[in-house]
Amino acid sequence: MNRIIIGRCILALLSVPLIGQAQPGEPLTWVPTGGPPGGLGYDIRYNFDNPDVWYVTDGFAGIHMSTDNGKTWQPSNTGIPKQIGVTTDGIPAFSLTVDPHDPRIVWAGTDWTGHIYRSLDAGVTWHQRDNGVTIDHDGMSFRGFTVDPRGSDIVYAMAETTDESLGGAAVWGDGTGGSIYKTVDAGENWTRIWNGDPPSSLARYLWINPQDPDVLYVSTGIFDRGAVGEGDPLTDPFGGIGILKSTDGGVNWTIQNEAQGLRMLYLGSLYMHPENPDVLLTATGHTTEGGVYDYLQNLVEQGTDTPVGIYRTSNGGETWTQVYVNNDRFAEGFAAVEICESNPDIAYAGSDVAVYRSEDAGVTWNVVNGVTTAWGPVGVMAGWPIDMQCDPRDPDRLFINNYGGGNFLSEDGGRTWSNSSQGYTGAQSRAVTVQPGNPAKVYSAGRSGPWRSNSGGRNWTGIWGSPVDHVAGGEYGAIAVDPGRPGHLLTGSRPALYESFDDGLTWHFRWPRFDETGPPRTLLGDVPVIVFAPSDRNIVYAGIADGRCAFFREPCEAGHGVVISRDGGTTWTETQDPVVGSVSVLDLAVDPVNPEVVFAATETGLYRSADGNATWTFVGSLPAGAKLWSVALSPDNGEKIIVGAEHLGLLVSEDGGQSWRFSDAGLEPNSSISAIVFDPTNPQTVYLSDYLSGVYRSMDGGASWNKVNDGLTMRAVLALAISSDGKHLYAATNGSGVFRLDLGDLPIFADGFESAGG
């Protein structure tokens, strides 16, 4: 009987669907996990014929569609080519609008590449349709589309541009201009009808008065862009334009600004009342850098209302009234506002810290989620709510697509939120690691914070802080798991280190400890790497680097070297070495036997410490000026070192760094090696990721390499991690989240339990 039961159990296990199992003789194939959430989310819309069909757009991952009312998402980019990123694997679909006359017609526009696409089959396939958008497309982003109430042939397209001839600047941080295009033949031809002689600002939402379709309103500006032609966009809170209005279909324009009561002219969102077109709401905000931050802080200290908030007009913009003033949270910036079509008394607005609800068509507002911690699901760093959409059947059901990536759902009027992103990710994942002994338990960190999966990436849970001891926002670049204590985690963010003992449920701030008797020190950079010593888990190292250098591949400024913990991550000590203490450390590798020996890959080359971070020696035998992104030591031989250099490829040393040889057979020329991992069960097998061309495997200890890119739809890989049994490799990508490669005979089971071991 026992044998029968066991046999039936085995048959049951074998019948479970498997994810990505490689059959004998088949090439290894990567599995996209569809997570964690993150990226550059923008619009969310539903199909008017079938409200169970929803669309989200993302500046990295393109268009995703849901056919089950937002529960799961699938990419829908057929006809929109890959066109951005260092590997040109990104699909920058930004704005999207469904034609209210014929919901089979959907319009979409791209970010940075300035293209327009139209679908005639409800978003399944797309066709380029931007004749007449004649400027250089590079640097142009389409921010919105509006279909005329008189018919499908008349469409408006709103854009942002860095083209100097159109009022933009060469660098968006110096301000960006805007344009409005119009077609009267369903996109066969487009004509520019506004380009805003300086001052100029991007154009986003256009609303048409359905009772008089020649009356148009356009919002300009957004929270993280400045305007051209009015002062420094990061220091002038009154820069920008305001609301554009036309009464002749866009031939002529007037501007509504301070004179009409708008005290902030960066208007990221605009919404027209569905029953009274003279009533509009707009949400205002601006980046809180530089002089803007100081200016708003001074207003609060003086007891003066800040200009950031929500504004309302009931007379078509002749006058605007600030209906919500954030006079105590001056750093708050509003990015979205929405009126529910099924009940126009219900309206929502969102900032980076809170979600607000109105039950009187926007006259008064109450906070329903956020402020004390941040808005969004528990454990998720939700970020900027860039677009909102009420379910047309239920005004209490609200989606928010997030500018930091991820789609979130509330079904109780904004009071609580759940992650509604399964299958949709454009995440810039910068770190990935696997729990020893459990290849299905994987952690990732990036721009959307730290995340955990118990199912090999099938599902992801946010582990960003807790209400008691909250983890800060910012750029996450590292996450490490204690090899001897499951649930003990370390993570890092701009620049700070945090520790958790309960698998990310709560976190505790650990470093830096500021001197309470003096002014706080200014520490530059972010945390791109945290490493437990293989032979002594109480010893942990972390590297501190200039964030623009570590995460965006820009030239490095000053970093902060290496810090060490000798109690597993609770207390930390900075290096006293004057050289390493001032450089950007991009990767670390600890000797497999001696925890005091550690190598640091930096912007200026390779350094070695033999005394646990007290002093460092420059390993000078590498090519002069080599900028190193990665370093790894063989798990069975601390004398074997492999480093990856920017545009120089891979170098190997067999004698602890005294001599080196290039080992780039099979690699693309001018590669930029972002990560190197040895198979812990067979050190002759090594994997690496080239940020410019994907993942490679060596079966001869690094002497020669072969690409392993099947299924890897995003080749810009930033980090690799391999399970302790050597059978599962994970890759963190810059724009498509985490991928998994099953190397052994048994993969991860689809139900979430890993194939072998615990």
pLDDT one-digit tens code per residue, 311-345? 999 999 999 999 998 776 666 789 999 999 999 99
Q: What percent of the chain has pLDDT over 70?
A: 87
For residue 215, pLDDT over 60 is answered with: yes
Give the pLDDT score at 517: 41
Query: Residue 749: how many CA atoms within 13 Å on its side-chain side?
Result: 14
Give the pLDDT score at 169: 43
- Of the listed ranges 303-312, 447-456, 465-474, the least confidently predicted one is 465-474
Band (471; pLDDT cuts 50, 70, 90): low
Band (231; pLDDT cuts 50, 70, 90): low
For residue 414, pLDDT over 80 is answered with: yes
Per-residue pLDDT, averaged over 578-582, amounts to: 91
For residue 250, pLDDT over 80 is answered with: yes
Start-end ranges of CATH 2.120.10.30 in the chain?
620-715
Band (500; pLDDT cuts 50, 70, 90): very high
Say which residue, 507 or 475, is predicted with more confidence: 507
For residue 12, pLDDT over 50 is answered with: no
Per-residue pLDDT, averaged over 585-590, amounts to: 97
Give the pLDDT score at 473: 65
Band (7; pLDDT cuts 50, 70, 90): very low
Give the pLDDT score at 229: 73
Give the pLDDT score at 696: 98
Give the pLDDT score at 524: 58
Per-residue pLDDT, averaged over 553-573, amounts to: 90
Residue 510 and residue 570 in contact, taking contact as beta carbons nearer than 8 Å: yes
> Omega into 377 within 30° of 0, i.e. cis?
no
Give the pLDDT score at 462: 93
User: CB neighbours of 241 closer than 8 A, spacing ≥ 6?
Assistant: 196, 199, 200, 201, 220, 221, 227, 255, 257, 265
Rounded-to-integer distance, Cα 523 and Cα 526, Å? 9
Give the pLDDT score at 6: 33
For residue 756, pLDDT over 50 is answered with: no
Element (H, E) at 295: helix 290-301
- Domain covering 32-419 in this structure, CATH number: 2.130.10.10
Band (298; pLDDT cuts 50, 70, 90): confident
Per-residue pLDDT, averaged over 336-360, amounts to: 96
User: CB neighbours of 207 closer than 8 A, spacing ≥ 6?
Assistant: 146, 216, 217, 218, 270, 271, 272, 277, 280
Give the pLDDT score at 549: 82
* SS3 call for 742: strand
Fold of the CATH domain 620-715: Neuraminidase (2.120.10)
Q: What are the pLDDT digits (tens) for 161-190? A: 875 544 444 444 567 889 999 999 999 999
What is the chain's mean pLDDT, rounded?
A: 88
For residue 466, pLDDT over 80 is answered with: no
**Nearest 5°: phi and psi at 103?**
-65, -5
Rounded-to-integer distance, Cα 310 and Cα 51, Å? 28
Q: Which amino acid is at 217?
A: Y
Q: What are the pLDDT digits (tens) for 25-45? A: 457 999 999 999 999 999 999
For residue 288, pLDDT over 90 is answered with: no
Band (528; pLDDT cuts 50, 70, 90): very high
Start-end ranges of CATH 2.130.10.10 in the chain?
32-419
Tokens matching residue 82: 């890959």
Give the pLDDT score at 547: 73
The alpha helices in 394-541, defined as continuous H runs, are none
CB atoms under 10 Å from CB of 471, counted, come to 24
For residue 1, pLDDT over 80 is answered with: no
Q: What are the pLDDT digits (tens) for 76-114? A: 999 999 999 999 999 999 999 999 999 999 999 999 899
CB atoms under 10 Å from CB of 120, counted, come to 14
For residue 755, pLDDT over 60 is answered with: no
Q: How far is CA 185 from the centre of its chain?
A: 36
**0.85 exceeded by pTM:** yes
The alpha helices in 372-528, defined as continuous H runs, are none
